[in-house]
Amino acid sequence: MRTRLQLGSSPAEHTPLDDDVADRIALAADILAGRRFAVLTGAGISTDSGIPDYRSPGSPPRTPMTLEMFLSSADFRRHYWARNHLGWRHMDAAVPNRAHLALTELQQRGWLTRILTQNVDMLHTKAGTRGVIELHGCYGRVRCLECDWRISRHRLAELLEEVNTEFARRVRGRGAIEVAPDADATLSDTSDFVMIDCPNCGGILKPDIVYFGETVAKDVVDESYSVVDDADALVVVGSSLTVMSGLRFARRAHRAGKPLIIVNRGGTRADEIATLKIDHEAGFVLPALATF
């Protein structure tokens, strides 16, 4: 048995660790001892970086973007891109928090193999984690739905700035704007925003993000299955596993008889099959786990 976790001071904005949570973290360390484990992360790991999630306790109701909505009309896409033109900057400015950094440290020690993430915020990559599989894409790329032409979000922003100088100037005076986990911003008046078509073929440009209800690419799923199969255990962090894109990996690990540890605020769809559940913030649990 490893040494019991020594509790230290905690940021005021977090819920303090109680003895039960501390004991569960120590138990997680014992379960993972000598094992190389994979990690699946969701939006709950990024809330400390200022990026909201959809389903944690106390989160306001938000409607994720669907492909059907995006393709419904050119006017809707213009409205969406106007909001995204503001929201992606907030996500781009976000920095990894201590939960992301703890995972990078665990990988550098050779314990963590790879991360599968449902997040599009690129914070694992910013934290220095290698080989991250982005199940739902990322905010930093844009592609054409017709010819698959690609462009970075930074470069597209420059092109949009050239044709939306008045829009940008007007919106800057509004102050703080709420941003969703998919980089969509809350903004109602977008009538003066101009969206461009694909410079290569004139097709529809879309963020390289898997919208709610879309299917994750088969090659991405296959690679992710291989990561789970090659690992000795799976740790889920900050995901309610509401959608199958994440739940299937938890179920696969369980069917293979591998330890499944879940760190999440609130319930998940895999709680009943979890080897261990820690109902607490990732920003506390992962750095504490890394001390063992």
Q: Which residues are annotated as a binding site?
A: 144, 147, 198, 201
Residue 258 Cα to chain centre, angstroms = 24
Tokens in use for 198? 């694909």
254 part of the active site = no
Among candidate residues 267, 224, 215, the one with its CA nearest the CA of residue 249: 224
Q: Are 68 and 213 in contact (CB under 8 A)?
A: yes
Question: Which is the catalytic residue, given 136, 154, 254, 280?
Answer: 136
Q: Are 47 and 100 in contact (CB under 8 A)?
A: no
Detail the residues annotated as belonging to a binding site for Zn(2+): 144, 147, 198, 201
Return d(Cα 18, Cα 21) in angstroms, integer.
Answer: 5
Return d(Cα 53, Cα 184) in angstroms, integer.
Answer: 12
Q: Are 126 and 53 in contact (CB under 8 A)?
A: no
Q: Which residues are catalytic?
A: 136
